[in-house]
A and B are shown apart, each in its own frame.
Chain A
Amino acid sequence: MTRADGWLLAAGALTLPLWLQSPYHLHVAIMAGIFGVLAMSLNLLLGYTGQLSLGHAAFFGIGAYTSALLTLKLDWSFWPALAVAVALAALAGFFIGRLALKLRGAYFVLVTISFAGVISLVSINWIELTNGPLGLPGVPAPALGPWSFRTKTAYYYLVLAACGLSYLVCRRLVMSRIGRALVALRENEPLAESVGVDVTHYLVLAAVVSAAMAGLGGSLYAHYTRFVSPEVFLFTYTVTMVIMVVAGGKGTLAGPVVGATLFTVLPEALRAAASWQWQMLAYGVLLVLLVFFLPRGIVPWLARVMAGSQAPAEPDSPTIRR
């Protein structure tokens, strides 16, 4: 992508509410933005450290509940509540990282799933605090001075800003020495260790930043839907994030954003085009085709198409086998 394309895309995103008049379309755009933040968050772990977190909805939910509770019960305004939501999610990420990254791979997956399960049970059963399965209605809309983010257009810009910020954080991280260390760890851990990369340190760092971003997404979600219930911990959210990251292109900066946009818009488009039985079938078939034909995701494929035939062959196979 050239610089001009980038500006065009930015201009498009900034003027979107001008040519998307319908509140419904704007709603889809907002959800795409929130999922964009979540997918970028998951991508830091899955794409750059290679660790699959199947409990990512936990960080999302922690962000949502923290923000909702602070504004509802303590009458905090949105901004400090958002900050605490992000911090608390990051703290959870730190503990999960410390605990789980001694156990890589399948064990990490198990720990994250169980963590999400436990947090979800807490949200259902700690009724005095969370109102249990009934959830917390009436989460206030954010305001900044005299402006309220009550309208969809205003909220769209808030989400867009969060998306942009998350993208910049990811970019900064990935392009730095830290990012190279993360990729090195994903590619060849013994070798990375041998050049002096501190494995635990970097994996925990990635988990913390990732969880913080998921917390940001959670807080934005809570103040947008104005309602939080234990449903935020549903496994579906995690799976959706994984699909977005994998389909968009894990380990790429733009991949999660593309994946999030596609997989928020697509189900809605299908809803308009077909009755619900066909909807899910079409969704499933499309997903299978995508994974089958573009196993590395949309963004790497686009990059290759645009680079033409000069692109070097994919370095797939380790050259030395025992």
Chain B
Amino acid sequence: MAAGELVCLIGANGAGKSSTLRAISGLLPLSHGRIVFDGREIQNEVPATILRAGIAHCPEGRRVFPHLTVAENLAMGAYVRTDRGAIAADLSEVGRHFPILVERRRQMAGTLSGGEQQMLAIARALMARPRLILFDEPSLGLAPTLVEMTFAIIADIRRRGTTVLMVEQNANAALRMADRAYVMETGRIVLEGRARDLLEDDHVRRAYLGG
């Protein structure tokens, strides 16, 4: 992946997409192979080190800590950082983009609406000041309007210069916004290319775009 790119990873359930992301962020040990970030091999590092190197992971499923406040959730995003001044600056930066989170900063994250929780999850990932964000199924379980909002936020993050690697079931939407894409089947990459070309590809259309 090149800096500033938005790349998506598509494929059927169980193809190994989430595992790929988990391996990159150090949550899943690697039996063999290498992961290189910024010219540095990171396959043997612990999650905290990888996070410090600049890779944040937005996992799928439950996205926030429900019994922590919004402010505490955001603080957890900067958990591995020690540069207090910069954290405070990033916090106000995040607040500018998501004013609703500032308004609700004392509220328990579990009491937020689905859309607000999604914003919080993304904002939390940004609090690590990543250069690469991994999104695992960002649209999963969200109402259609929220899916749209989520993709708009992701596109915006990328416009501001952060590299994005995204795993997404909704291949159609993902391919429309991505620069490049990889197609995974049973743990291997079977196809890669410019997202625009993959949208036209027969195999991809049949398997993932519904004809």
A190 contacts B48, C-beta separation under 8 Å: no
* Chain A residues closer than 8 Å to B27, beta-carbon distance: 190, 193-194
Which A residues fall within an 8 A CB radius of B?
177, 180-181, 183-184, 187-188, 190-198, 312-322
Instruction: Give chain A nearest CB distance to B60 CB in angstroms.
Output: 9
Q: Contact between A315 and B109 (Cβ–Cβ < 8 Å)?
A: yes
- A312 near B62 with CB under 8 A, answer no
| Residues B59 and A184 in contact, CB atoms below 8 Å apart | no
Name the contact of A191 in the complex, choosing from B52, B62, B67 (C-beta under 8 A).
B62
CA distance A317 to B117 in the complex (A): 13
Contact A195 B68 (CB under 8 A): no
Question: Chain B CB within 10 Å — which of A181, A187, A196 has the most?
Answer: A196
Q: Which residues of A contact B114 (CB under 8 A)?
A: 319-320
Report B-chain residues with C-beta under 8 Å of the C-beta of A180.
68, 72, 75-76
Which residues of chain B are near A196, meaning CB under 8 Å? 47-48, 51-52, 79-80, 128
Most chain A C-beta atoms within 10 Å of own C-beta, residue among B47, B72, B113, B128: B47
Nearest CB on A from B9, distance (A): 17
| 5 further A-B pairs in the complex, CB-CB below 8 A; given A177-B79, A196-B80, A322-B141 | A180-B72, A191-B64, A195-B124, A315-B111, A316-B110
> Contact at A195–B128, with CB atoms within 8 Å?
yes
Interface centre among B51, B110, B111 (most CB of A within 10 A): B110
Give the Cβ gap from A30 to chain B, nearest Cβ, in Å: 34
16 pairs of residues in contact across A and B, judged by CB atoms under 8 Å? A190-B61, A191-B63, A191-B64, A195-B77, A196-B47, A196-B48, A196-B52, A197-B79, A198-B46, A198-B48, A314-B111, A315-B109, A315-B111, A320-B63, A320-B117, A322-B140
Which residues from A are CB-within-8-Å of B77?
195
Q: How distant is the Cα of A313 from the Cα of B57 in the complex, in angstroms?
A: 29
Complex partner residue of B80 from A195, A312, A314, A317, CB under 8 angstroms: A195
Distance in Å from the Cβ of A304 to the closest Cβ of chain B? 13
Q: Which residues of A contact B72 (CB under 8 A)?
A: 180
Compute how far the CA of A192 lies from the CA of B66 in the bound complex, rounded to whole angstroms.
12
Whole-angstrom distance from the CB of B24 to the nearest CB of chain A? 11
User: In whole angstroms, how far apart are the Cα atoms of A194 and B111 in the complex?
Assistant: 22
Q: Are A184 and B65 in contact (CB under 8 A)?
A: yes
How far in angstroms is the closest Cβ of chain A from B41? 19
Q: In chain B between 131 and 145, which residues have their CB closer than 8 angstroms to a CB of chain A?
A: 140-142
Name the distance in Å between A203's Cβ and chain B's nearest Cβ. 15
Instruction: Pick the residue among B76, B128, B142 that contacts A184 (CB under 8 A).
Output: B76
B107 adjacent to chain A (CB < 8 Å): yes
Question: CA A193 – CA B75 in complex, angstroms?
Answer: 14
- Determine which residue in B46, B59, B76, B107 has the highest number of CB atoms from chain A within 10 A of its CB, and name it: B76
